[in-house]
Chain A
Amino acid sequence: MDALIDALPLPYTDAVVATGAAVLGLLAGLVGVLAVLRRRTLVGDALSHAALPGVAVAFLLAGVKDTVSLLVGAAVAGTLAAVLVLALERSSRVRPDTAIGVVLSGSFSLGIVLLTHIAATGDAGQAGLQDYLFGQAAGLVQADVTLFAALAAGTVVVLALLHRPLTVVLFDAAFARSTGLPIRLLELVSTVLLVVAVVVGLRTVGAILMVAMIVVPAVAARQVTGRLATMLVVAGVVGAAVGTAGSLLSTATRTPTGPVVVLLGAGVVLLALSLAPGRGVLWHARRLRRDRRRRQREGVLVDVAAAGPAPVAASALGAGRPSRAVRRTLRRLRRDGLVRATGAGWSLTAAGQGAATAVLARRELWWAWLEHGAEVAVGDAREPDPDDLAGSLGAEAVERLRALGGTAPAVAGGAR
């Protein structure tokens, strides 16, 4: 650790802060994955508030502002709060978010009462206890960084050892219980990991902002991977990167470290949420638009084909579809050379005739699948893609479907 800090081309204090933020980011990223998957991100919030009475009580007991005893006080109170939240959820009709809210505001109120009481009783040594809530990353010393690094290493080891049982518990607790896994113990382990990370984080970025350090890397990592092991690695890397970049940026711009790290992290999450391949908001929107256009296109093509060889007016097309969409689709189809406009209306070109036939054939095949799907041996659990049955089911299955043939939709009872 010392070698690393010395090797950085930065002034000593900046190097310490940057390394500290990186190691903390790594640590928070790892435990954050557990918290996010268990929907417990705000337990971090609750226990960081709960650290306040812990600090106050530790000070009352120790009588001096000693870092170690304050940290221990915070950790004990934090664990207590996390356990209380769990117990509240299980005991009664209290919902998880309410449980967190009650523990958070109750313990923080208690902390404030204790602190103000200590202040009022005139102990001069108490000044600065509140600083445990607001970060002072610039006050970070090398010993803190070493502590973080040790904790991060411990967390990595625990996660590596417990990776499999944790996956089972996180994914399907009922199944985990049926296999005899000690669920309570595993929950306690992941809670303790979270508590430890939050308590050491209090000093670096402050309690409130620690919450963000927990959630940002995990949420970003979830967008780019669907595997727990990969997610842990990505979250660790993202956390470390956000921590480092944020602290460097804050040094360069002479701004407070904590907020810069958090805002950078929020930016990373926004990017991941919008751009994540196959999942992101923009990607999703594009796919929706493409699918809608395609449906409109096929619908209009089939409608024009159904109208026969004579030109058909745009207003007679696309039952139920807004006519503006129909007109726009027609313009696109004309651009692609599939329809042509004559004075009397719209009609198909030769290419359009072919395209319409293809669409109809595909629909026909889909009807056949719906009707005879159960009789066609597919071999494995493949599911049909309505647009590409041959590709999704295999050519053989499609041959068989063609032979069986679909019946055009018909309605019995003369309703139609």
Chain B
Amino acid sequence: MSPAVAIVLTAGLTATACGLLGPLLVLRREALVGDAVSHSVLPGIVLVHLVLGTRATLPVIVGAAAFGVVCVLALEALRSTGLVRADAAIALVFPALFSLGLLGVDRWAADIHLDLDSTIYGQIAFVPFRTLVLGAVAVPQSVVAIGAVALVDLLLLVAFWKQVKVATFDPGFARTTGVDPTVVARVLLTAVAATAVTAFEAVGAIVVIALLVVPAATAHLLTDRLGVMIAVSVAVGWVAAVSGYAGAVALDASIGGAMGVVATCCFVLALLLSPQHGVLTRALRRRQRVRAAGRAAAGRGTAAVPPTPLRRPGTCAAGGSCRPAGGRWRPGTLALPCARAAGTGALPPRTAAGAGGCTTRLAQASAPGRRSR
């Protein structure tokens, strides 16, 4: 396996794992959990080094994942006190855990010169050099590790698809159908912590944070289906992996950084041009509407009309409830033309039967219908 293929494959698998979970984080307003976890795992790594005296991949991942889970639980505990808001909870937990790790490095690990940037948090450029022999071929360790994690994430998502969907969309309903939203949240965040930690070790923290949030945010701007959103998010991650690598080689710059930049570019494009939610597309649509309205007004020989009615539909001056007539408010009429005032448009038969004028809610409600007895 050539170095380039190994790097792109590792990055792409990371993008897959992150792209599967990221959309759920974004939808649950927990987009910054990846950032929090990435800083919180340091004490775990130091602890493993201290107790086992090793920097081998597997024990480090386990130790780091343990502290990732500690971070997630601490966040939940802080939030459950009701005294601290979600953002402040994150800002309290991860600096504290990170500081704990820094002190540990200072006290016990200084002799081995743990370089925080690359050794602990991985450097994707080193991926091809650490291989594992599977059968007859040498496969980079990280491809195996991240591939396994991505597979587990996929299986989890497929197995618990309905629970995740219900608990995220409507927690109140979930509870009545026997799904506990807090359990779902805990499983999801644990999966995020494990994924993030495995990926840090191989590709570096910043790549993971970027791939958890940015592709998912991009996808959220592009689609209204959860399944599609996840697929788009994975795809954007792969685009970032492939073109990020190419860009980094061309610029002679950090591969991880370049991937983050490419992902962000995708996000900016979606933000501007998304067919439904894009900033530019919406501005364009608004302008077309205003122009069309202006043309129509000019055709009728009146001034341009305000596009929104002055009153909420369904109310009228008399205080009852009636339906607005189709027409727009025009200068000259006093109030929003409700069906009665304008003298056009049919009233619902039931209300029309009531005593003249706008019928009240009460009268309308006592319309024919099955009486109780």
Contacts and interface: CB of A to CB of B under 8 A. Distances in A.
A350 interface: no
A13 B177 CA distance: 64
B260 interface: yes
A104 B33 CA distance: 13
Query: Which of the four size classes fits the interface of chain A?
Result: 35 or more
Contacts of A93: 220-221, 277
B253 A113 contact: yes
Interface in A356-397: none
A134 B96 CA distance: 15
A95 B31 contact: yes
Given A106-B267, A266-B92, A281-B83, A116 B254 contact: yes
Contacts of A208: 39, 94-95, 98
Contact of B88 (A98, A108, A209, A219): A219
A266 B96 contact: yes
Given A39-B87, A256-B103, A100 B96 contact: no
A212 B32 CA distance: 15
A215 B213 contact: no
Contacts of A222: 83
B277 A273 contact: no
Contacts of A120: 251-253
B81 A281 contact: yes
Given A116-B254, A281-B83, A209 B217 contact: no
Contacts of B35: 45, 101, 104-105
A215 B84 CA distance: 10
A212 B277 contact: no
Contacts of B278: 92
Given A112-B256, A281-B81, A259 B100 contact: yes
B214 interface: yes
B83 A100 contact: no
Contact of A212 (B26, B95, B206, B257): B95
A36 B88 contact: yes
A260 B103 contact: yes
A42 B206 contact: no
Nearest to A120: B252
Contacts of B87: 39-42, 96-97
B64 interface: no
B305 interface: no
B210 A219 contact: no
A94 B274 CA distance: 13
A149 interface: no
A201 interface: no
A218 B92 CA distance: 11
B289 interface: no
Interface string A221-254: 0110000000000000000000000000000000
Interface in B70-126: 78, 81, 83-88, 90-92, 94-96, 98-100, 102-103, 106-107, 116-117
A20 interface: no
A246 B212 CA distance: 35
Interface in B1-39: 26, 29-32, 34-35, 39
Contacts of A41: 87-88, 90-91
B206 A258 contact: no
B27 to A, nearest CB: 9
Given A97-B32, A130-B117, A212 B221 contact: no
A105 to B, nearest CB: 4
Contacts of A280: 83
Given A106-B260, A106-B264, A98 B91 contact: no
Contacts of A95: 26, 29, 31
Given A110-B257, A111-B257, A216-B92, A97 B221 contact: no
A17 interface: no
B271 interface: yes
Contacts of A260: 99, 103
A219 B84 contact: yes
A39 to B, nearest CB: 5
Tell me the interface secondary structure of chain B in the complex: helix
B279 interface: yes
Contacts of B253: 112-114, 116-117, 120
Nearest to B282: A92
Contacts of A108: 206, 257, 260
Contacts of A121: 252
A209 B26 contact: no
Nearest to B116: A134
Among A92, A105, A120, A258, find the residue whose CB has the most chain B CB atoms closer than 10 A: A105
Contacts of B91: 41-42, 44-45, 211-212, 214-215
A92 B116 CA distance: 37
Interface string A269-307: 100010010011100000000000000000000000000
Interface string A105-135: 1101111111111001100000000100010
B249 to A, nearest CB: 11
B102 to A, nearest CB: 4
A325 to B, nearest CB: 24
A120 B254 CA distance: 10
B75 to A, nearest CB: 12
B209 interface: yes
B196 interface: no
B217 A94 contact: yes
Contacts of B29: 95-98
Contacts of A223: 83
A315 interface: no
A112 B264 CA distance: 14
A268 B180 CA distance: 34
Interface string B205-240: 010011011101100110000000000000000000
B358 interface: no
Given A109-B264, A116-B253, 4 more contacts: A42-B91, A92-B221, A109-B261, A111-B257
15 contacts: A94-B271, A98-B31, A98-B216, A102-B217, A105-B206, A106-B214, A109-B210, A113-B257, A116-B254, A117-B252, A120-B252, A211-B91, A259-B100, A262-B99, A266-B96
Interface of A: 36, 39-42, 44-45, 88, 91-98, 100-102, 104-106, 108-117, 120-121, 130, 134, 208-209, 211-212, 214-216, 218-219, 222-223, 255-256, 258-260, 262-263, 266, 269, 273, 276, 279-281
10 closest A-B pairs by beta carbon, nearest first, are A109-B260, A112-B257, A212-B95, A106-B264, A259-B99, A101-B213, A105-B210, A266-B96, A113-B257, A116-B254
